[in-house]
Protein backbone atom coordinates (compact mmCIF):
# COMPACT_ATOMS: atom_id res chain seq x y z
CA UNK A 1 0.00 0.00 0.00
CA UNK A 2 1.26 3.48 -0.80
CA UNK A 3 1.10 6.48 1.47
CA UNK A 4 1.08 10.15 0.66
CA UNK A 5 3.23 12.50 2.71
CA UNK A 6 2.14 16.11 3.19
CA UNK A 7 3.85 18.88 5.11
CA UNK A 8 1.65 21.97 5.69
CA UNK A 9 4.63 24.35 5.88
CA UNK A 10 5.74 23.23 2.41
CA UNK A 11 2.33 23.84 0.85
CA UNK A 12 3.35 27.18 -0.70
CA UNK A 13 6.08 25.41 -2.65
CA UNK A 14 4.79 22.06 -3.78
CA UNK A 15 2.65 19.03 -3.26
CA UNK A 16 4.75 16.14 -2.01
CA UNK A 17 3.17 12.79 -2.74
CA UNK A 18 5.60 10.05 -1.72
CA UNK A 19 5.69 6.41 -0.79
CA UNK A 20 6.61 5.67 2.82
CA UNK A 21 8.29 2.26 3.40
CA UNK A 22 6.59 1.66 6.75
CA UNK A 23 3.22 1.58 4.98
CA UNK A 24 4.03 -0.64 2.04
CA UNK A 25 2.28 -3.99 1.92
CA UNK A 26 2.97 -7.17 -0.02
CA UNK A 27 -0.07 -8.74 -1.67
CA UNK A 28 -2.44 -7.93 1.16
CA UNK A 29 -0.09 -8.71 4.06
CA UNK A 30 -0.35 -6.64 7.20
CA UNK A 31 1.70 -3.49 7.64
CA UNK A 32 5.10 -3.92 9.23
CA UNK A 33 4.55 -1.03 11.61
CA UNK A 34 1.45 0.50 13.21
CA UNK A 35 0.09 3.74 11.79
CA UNK A 36 0.89 7.03 13.53
CA UNK A 37 -2.04 8.59 15.42
CA UNK A 38 -4.66 10.55 13.53
CA UNK A 39 -8.40 11.08 12.98
CA UNK A 40 -10.29 7.82 12.57
CA UNK A 41 -12.78 7.08 9.83
CA UNK A 42 -14.86 4.16 8.59
CA UNK A 43 -13.69 0.83 7.21
CA UNK A 44 -12.27 1.23 3.68
CA UNK A 45 -13.92 4.64 3.13
CA UNK A 46 -11.72 6.21 5.77
CA UNK A 47 -12.50 9.79 6.71
CA UNK A 48 -15.85 11.05 5.36
CA UNK A 49 -15.91 14.08 3.06
CA UNK A 50 -17.02 16.34 5.89
CA UNK A 51 -13.82 15.58 7.82
CA UNK A 52 -11.35 15.99 4.92
CA UNK A 53 -10.36 19.66 4.43
CA UNK A 54 -10.48 20.98 0.88
CA UNK A 55 -9.70 24.68 1.39
CA UNK A 56 -6.80 25.99 3.49
CA UNK A 57 -6.23 22.41 4.57
CA UNK A 58 -2.89 23.30 6.18
CA UNK A 59 -4.79 25.10 8.92
CA UNK A 60 -6.66 21.88 9.72
CA UNK A 61 -3.37 19.97 9.76
CA UNK A 62 -1.93 22.44 12.27
CA UNK A 63 -4.92 21.84 14.54
CA UNK A 64 -4.57 18.08 14.11
CA UNK A 65 -0.90 18.44 15.03
CA UNK A 66 -1.81 19.93 18.40
CA UNK A 67 -3.73 16.74 19.15
CA UNK A 68 -1.78 14.01 17.35
CA UNK A 69 1.81 15.28 17.08
CA UNK A 70 4.40 15.71 14.34
CA UNK A 71 3.27 12.78 12.19
CA UNK A 72 -0.43 12.28 11.48
CA UNK A 73 -2.14 9.42 9.64
CA UNK A 74 -5.52 9.19 7.94
CA UNK A 75 -6.92 7.10 5.11
CA UNK A 76 -9.36 7.40 2.20
CA UNK A 77 -10.61 4.48 0.06
CA UNK A 78 -7.68 2.32 1.14
CA UNK A 79 -5.04 4.98 0.49
CA UNK A 80 -2.95 6.06 3.47
CA UNK A 81 -1.80 9.64 4.05
CA UNK A 82 0.94 10.94 6.32
CA UNK A 83 0.89 14.60 7.32
CA UNK A 84 4.32 15.88 8.35
CA UNK A 85 3.56 18.55 10.90
CA UNK A 86 6.96 19.97 11.84
CA UNK A 87 10.09 21.16 10.08
CA UNK A 88 12.29 18.70 11.97
CA UNK A 89 10.11 15.74 11.00
CA UNK A 90 10.14 16.94 7.37
CA UNK A 91 13.95 17.03 7.38
CA UNK A 92 14.22 13.62 9.05
CA UNK A 93 11.94 11.98 6.48
CA UNK A 94 12.26 13.97 3.26
CA UNK A 95 15.97 14.82 3.48
CA UNK A 96 17.61 12.05 5.47
CA UNK A 97 15.45 9.34 3.90
CA UNK A 98 15.22 10.90 0.44
CA UNK A 99 15.92 7.61 -1.33
CA UNK A 100 12.69 6.08 -0.04
CA UNK A 101 10.62 9.25 0.41
CA UNK A 102 11.14 10.59 -3.12
CA UNK A 103 9.04 7.91 -4.78
CA UNK A 104 5.63 8.81 -6.26
CA UNK A 105 2.57 6.54 -6.24
CA UNK A 106 0.35 6.58 -9.28
CA UNK A 107 -2.82 4.81 -10.38
CA UNK A 108 -4.61 3.68 -13.51
CA UNK A 109 -6.48 7.00 -13.43
CA UNK A 110 -3.15 8.87 -13.64
CA UNK A 111 -2.30 6.83 -16.71
CA UNK A 112 -5.57 7.99 -18.28
CA UNK A 113 -4.55 11.62 -17.81
CA UNK A 114 -1.04 11.43 -19.26
CA UNK A 115 -1.07 8.14 -21.15
CA UNK A 116 2.38 7.03 -22.27
CA UNK A 117 3.84 10.30 -20.97
CA UNK A 118 2.73 9.74 -17.37
CA UNK A 119 6.27 8.85 -16.30
CA UNK A 120 7.73 11.92 -18.03
CA UNK A 121 6.36 14.29 -15.38
CA UNK A 122 8.48 14.78 -12.29
CA UNK A 123 5.43 14.85 -10.00
CA UNK A 124 4.40 11.29 -10.91
CA UNK A 125 7.73 9.73 -11.79
CA UNK A 126 8.91 6.88 -9.52
CA UNK A 127 12.32 7.32 -7.91
CA UNK A 128 14.66 5.87 -10.52
CA UNK A 129 17.51 6.67 -12.89
CA UNK A 130 14.97 8.41 -15.14
CA UNK A 131 13.81 10.54 -12.19
CA UNK A 132 17.40 11.53 -11.44
CA UNK A 133 18.03 12.52 -15.08
CA UNK A 134 14.86 14.63 -15.19
CA UNK A 135 15.65 16.29 -11.87
CA UNK A 136 19.17 17.00 -13.12
CA UNK A 137 17.70 18.70 -16.19
CA UNK A 138 15.66 21.03 -13.97
CA UNK A 139 18.56 21.67 -11.60
CA UNK A 140 21.07 22.46 -14.34
CA UNK A 141 18.80 24.98 -16.03
CA UNK A 142 17.03 26.60 -13.07
CA UNK A 143 19.68 26.73 -10.34
CA UNK A 144 20.72 30.22 -9.20
CA UNK A 145 23.87 30.31 -11.35
CA UNK A 146 21.92 29.43 -14.50
CA UNK A 147 19.15 31.98 -14.00
CA UNK A 148 21.38 34.80 -15.26
CA UNK A 149 20.67 33.65 -18.82
CA UNK A 150 17.06 34.75 -18.37
CA UNK A 151 17.81 38.16 -16.84
CA UNK A 152 17.64 40.17 -20.09
CA UNK A 153 14.16 38.82 -20.85
CA UNK A 154 13.00 39.33 -17.26
CA UNK A 155 14.26 42.92 -17.10
CA UNK A 156 12.72 43.81 -20.45
CA UNK A 157 9.32 42.32 -19.60
CA UNK A 158 9.20 43.77 -16.08
CA UNK A 159 9.88 47.26 -17.50
CA UNK A 160 7.05 46.84 -20.02
CA UNK A 161 4.82 45.55 -17.22
CA UNK A 162 5.52 48.54 -14.95
CA UNK A 163 4.97 51.01 -17.81
CA UNK A 164 1.64 49.38 -18.64
CA UNK A 165 0.28 49.20 -15.09
CA UNK A 166 -1.47 52.56 -15.38
CA UNK A 167 -2.22 52.48 -19.10
CA UNK A 168 -3.60 48.95 -19.39
CA UNK A 169 -7.35 48.42 -19.22
CA UNK A 170 -6.90 44.90 -17.87
CA UNK A 171 -7.08 43.93 -14.22
CA UNK A 172 -3.92 43.71 -12.13
CA UNK A 173 -4.41 39.95 -11.91
CA UNK A 174 -4.50 39.64 -15.70
CA UNK A 175 -1.43 41.82 -16.10
CA UNK A 176 0.54 39.75 -13.57
CA UNK A 177 -0.56 36.51 -15.24
CA UNK A 178 0.51 37.89 -18.64
CA UNK A 179 3.91 38.95 -17.26
CA UNK A 180 4.47 35.49 -15.77
CA UNK A 181 3.61 33.68 -18.99
CA UNK A 182 5.41 36.11 -21.31
CA UNK A 183 8.68 35.64 -19.40
CA UNK A 184 8.38 31.86 -19.44
CA UNK A 185 7.27 31.48 -23.07
CA UNK A 186 10.11 33.73 -24.23
CA UNK A 187 12.69 32.06 -22.00
CA UNK A 188 11.70 28.44 -22.55
CA UNK A 189 10.39 28.45 -26.12
CA UNK A 190 11.41 31.80 -27.59
CA UNK A 191 7.72 32.44 -28.33
CA UNK A 192 6.14 35.84 -27.76
CA UNK A 193 2.58 36.09 -26.46
CA UNK A 194 0.56 39.26 -25.99
CA UNK A 195 -1.85 38.09 -23.29
CA UNK A 196 -2.40 35.29 -20.81
CA UNK A 197 -5.77 34.80 -22.49
CA UNK A 198 -4.20 33.47 -25.67
CA UNK A 199 -4.78 29.81 -26.39
CA UNK A 200 -1.51 28.31 -25.14
CA UNK A 201 -1.20 30.19 -21.80
CA UNK A 202 -4.94 29.86 -21.19
CA UNK A 203 -4.64 26.13 -21.71
CA UNK A 204 -1.80 25.94 -19.19
CA UNK A 205 -3.90 27.74 -16.62
CA UNK A 206 -6.73 25.29 -17.24
CA UNK A 207 -4.36 22.40 -16.60
CA UNK A 208 -3.26 23.94 -13.29
CA UNK A 209 -6.80 24.66 -12.10
CA UNK A 210 -8.08 21.21 -13.12
CA UNK A 211 -5.14 19.37 -11.57
CA UNK A 212 -5.18 21.31 -8.27
CA UNK A 213 -8.26 19.54 -6.94
CA UNK A 214 -6.80 16.19 -7.93
CA UNK A 215 -3.79 16.50 -5.64
CA UNK A 216 -5.46 17.73 -2.45
CA UNK A 217 -4.66 15.04 0.15
CA UNK A 218 -7.72 12.90 0.72
CA UNK A 219 -9.67 14.20 -2.24
CA UNK A 220 -7.61 12.14 -4.67
CA UNK A 221 -8.47 8.92 -2.81
CA UNK A 222 -11.23 8.02 -5.28
CA UNK A 223 -8.52 7.11 -7.79
CA UNK A 224 -7.70 4.07 -5.67
CA UNK A 225 -11.20 2.60 -5.88
CA UNK A 226 -10.83 -0.65 -7.89
CA UNK A 227 -12.19 -0.48 -11.45
CA UNK A 228 -13.33 3.13 -11.12
CA UNK A 229 -11.53 3.91 -14.39
CA UNK A 230 -13.93 1.53 -16.17
CA UNK A 231 -17.08 3.45 -15.20
CA UNK A 232 -18.97 5.11 -18.08
CA UNK A 233 -19.34 8.90 -18.04
CA UNK A 234 -23.08 8.67 -17.31
CA UNK A 235 -22.52 6.71 -14.08
CA UNK A 236 -23.31 8.86 -11.01
CA UNK A 237 -20.34 10.52 -9.27
CA UNK A 238 -17.53 8.17 -10.28
CA UNK A 239 -18.26 8.29 -14.02
CA UNK A 240 -18.24 12.09 -14.00
CA UNK A 241 -14.89 12.14 -12.19
CA UNK A 242 -13.32 9.82 -14.75
CA UNK A 243 -14.78 11.84 -17.63
CA UNK A 244 -13.19 14.93 -16.09
CA UNK A 245 -9.85 13.13 -15.87
CA UNK A 246 -10.09 12.13 -19.54
CA UNK A 247 -10.67 15.81 -20.44
CA UNK A 248 -7.70 16.84 -18.28
CA UNK A 249 -5.54 14.29 -20.08
CA UNK A 250 -6.51 15.76 -23.44
CA UNK A 251 -5.71 19.37 -22.54
CA UNK A 252 -2.46 18.24 -20.87
CA UNK A 253 -1.25 16.54 -24.04
CA UNK A 254 -2.32 19.51 -26.16
CA UNK A 255 -0.64 21.90 -23.73
CA UNK A 256 2.64 20.03 -24.09
CA UNK A 257 2.45 19.59 -27.88
CA UNK A 258 1.40 23.03 -29.15
CA UNK A 259 4.35 25.13 -27.92
CA UNK A 260 6.70 22.24 -28.67
CA UNK A 261 5.52 22.02 -32.29
CA UNK A 262 5.70 25.82 -32.61
CA UNK A 263 9.29 26.03 -31.37
CA UNK A 264 10.40 23.12 -33.58
CA UNK A 265 8.99 24.99 -36.59
CA UNK A 266 10.80 28.16 -35.54
CA UNK A 267 14.08 26.28 -35.20
CA UNK A 268 13.68 24.88 -38.71
CA UNK A 269 12.90 28.27 -40.26
CA UNK A 270 15.29 30.38 -38.18
CA UNK A 271 18.84 29.20 -37.70
CA UNK A 272 19.42 31.90 -35.07
CA UNK A 273 16.41 30.99 -32.94
CA UNK A 274 17.22 31.58 -29.26
CA UNK A 275 15.44 29.73 -26.48
CA UNK A 276 16.24 27.25 -23.75
CA UNK A 277 14.49 24.44 -25.65
CA UNK A 278 16.46 25.36 -28.78
CA UNK A 279 19.73 25.26 -26.81
CA UNK A 280 18.92 21.89 -25.25
CA UNK A 281 17.94 20.38 -28.61
CA UNK A 282 21.14 21.64 -30.23
CA UNK A 283 23.12 19.77 -27.57
CA UNK A 284 21.13 16.53 -27.96
CA UNK A 285 21.63 13.72 -30.45
CA UNK A 286 18.67 13.94 -32.93
CA UNK A 287 18.34 10.17 -32.72
CA UNK A 288 17.97 10.13 -28.92
CA UNK A 289 14.17 10.01 -28.77
CA UNK A 290 14.06 9.48 -24.99
CA UNK A 291 16.10 12.60 -24.26
CA UNK A 292 14.13 14.68 -26.78
CA UNK A 293 10.87 13.58 -25.15
CA UNK A 294 12.34 14.46 -21.73
CA UNK A 295 13.13 17.96 -23.02
CA UNK A 296 9.59 18.33 -24.39
CA UNK A 297 7.96 17.55 -21.05
CA UNK A 298 10.56 19.57 -19.16
CA UNK A 299 9.43 22.65 -21.12
CA UNK A 300 5.75 21.98 -20.50
CA UNK A 301 6.20 21.43 -16.75
CA UNK A 302 8.23 24.64 -16.48
CA UNK A 303 5.51 26.70 -18.16
CA UNK A 304 2.68 25.16 -16.13
CA UNK A 305 4.58 25.68 -12.87
CA UNK A 306 5.06 29.36 -13.71
CA UNK A 307 1.34 29.75 -14.35
CA UNK A 308 0.86 29.19 -10.63
CA UNK A 309 4.04 29.94 -8.66
CA UNK A 310 5.42 33.01 -10.44
CA UNK A 311 2.01 34.65 -10.54
CA UNK A 312 1.51 33.88 -6.85
CA UNK A 313 4.91 35.37 -5.90
CA UNK A 314 4.31 38.61 -7.81
CA UNK A 315 0.75 38.94 -6.47
CA UNK A 316 2.05 38.42 -2.93
CA UNK A 317 4.56 41.24 -3.46
CA UNK A 318 1.78 43.64 -4.52
CA UNK A 319 -0.32 42.59 -1.53
CA UNK A 320 2.59 43.13 0.85
CA UNK A 321 3.34 46.57 -0.60
CA UNK A 322 -0.32 47.55 -0.40
CA UNK A 323 -0.73 46.47 3.21
CA UNK A 324 2.67 47.53 4.52
CA UNK A 325 2.85 51.03 3.08
CA UNK A 326 5.27 52.24 5.78
CA UNK A 327 7.72 49.40 5.04
CA UNK A 328 8.39 50.52 1.45
Quickly state the pLDDT bin for 114 (edges 50, 70, 90).
low
The confidence score (pLDDT) of residue 327 equals: 67
**Neighbour-count burial of 99, counting CB atoms closer than 10 A to its CB (0-12 exposed, 13-18 middle, 19+ buried):** exposed
Instruction: Name the percent of the chain lying above pLDDT 70.
Output: 85
Where is 3: in which H helix or E strand?
strand 3-6
Beta-strand pair 3-6/71-76: unpaired
pTM (two decimals): 0.76
Enclosing H/E stretch for 137:
helix 129-142
Residue 138 has pLDDT above 60, yes or no: yes
Alpha-carbon distance of 64 to 59, in angstroms, equals 9
**Is 39 in contact with 47 (CB distance < 8 Å)?**
yes
Looking at residue 68, what is its pLDDT? 92
pLDDT band for 104, please (50, 70, 90 cuts): confident
Mean pLDDT of the chain: 80
Distances (CA, A) of 135 to 51, 96, 121, 127, 325: 35, 18, 10, 10, 40
pLDDT classification of 116: cutoffs 50, 70, 90: low
| pLDDT interval class at 211 (50, 70, 90) | confident
pLDDT exceeds cutoff 60 at 232: yes
Instruction: Tell me the mean pLDDT in the region 154-183.
Output: 89
Give domain limits for the chain: 3-105, 141-327
Residue 1 has pLDDT above 70, yes or no: no
pLDDT in tens, 234-278: 887 777 777 777 788 888 888 899 999 999 998 888 776 789 999
- For residues 201-227, give the mean pLDDT: 78
Residues 6+ apart with CB under 8 A from 227: none
Q: Judge contact between 4 and 18, C-beta under 8 A.
A: yes
Residue 143 has pLDDT above 80, yes or no: yes
CA dist 14 and 297 (Å) reads 18
Strand order across the 3-6 sheet: 3-6, 79-84, 71-76
Q: Which residue has the higher pLDDT, 270 or 80?
A: 80
Amino acid sequence: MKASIWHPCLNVFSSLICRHPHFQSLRGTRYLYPSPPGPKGFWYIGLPNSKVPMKKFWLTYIEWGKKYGDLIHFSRFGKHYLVINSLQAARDILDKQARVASDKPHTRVDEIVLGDNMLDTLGLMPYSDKWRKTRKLFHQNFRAESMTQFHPIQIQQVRLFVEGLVLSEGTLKDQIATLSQKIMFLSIYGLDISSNREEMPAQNREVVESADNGIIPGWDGYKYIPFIHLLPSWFPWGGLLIATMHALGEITREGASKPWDAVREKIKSDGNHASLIGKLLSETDPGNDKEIDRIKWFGFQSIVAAADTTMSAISTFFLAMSVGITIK
